[in-house]
Amino acid sequence: MKIAIASDHAAVDLKAELAQWLRDEGHEVDDLGPATADRVDYPDYGYKLATAVASGAAERGIALCGSGIGISIAVNRNPACRCALVGEPLSAALSREHNDANVLAMGARLTGVDMAKACVTAFLSTEFGGGRHAGRVEKLSQPAL
């Protein structure tokens, strides 16, 4: 699977760890940055990740920042993205099964490497359930304001 991954400075180490692990697992990983722990703004990287997923350049995305909150908000500004902030594998699996999430967000200050890997595994291995969830998911990209 082709996976795009991005972070802010607070999550650059977790990003590097996950990117290498995903490559070792046989995935094609596009690391969208940053490359160092120098301070950056998470919206810039969230938007970049959202563009990669929305355009089809990546099948799925992984968004990381200190808490996971800011970057998930940035990704979700793109109507083609459904970014789920999770901290454990069940939420990651349900985000796929019920919400057809195409981006997973986590907080590096809140989620250890092993738990992050468990969340990513659940996220990548769970299929969208469709059925009763399909109409709801369609509405997520077309809000009735």
Cβ–Cβ < 8 Å for 59, 123: no
- Nearest C-alpha neighbor of 49 from the set 35, 40, 60: 60
Q: In the block, which residue shows the tokens 């990546």?
A: 58
Alpha helices by DSSP H, 1-81: 12-24, 42-55, 69-75
Point out the residues that are catalytic: 65, 98
Identity of the amino acid at 1: M
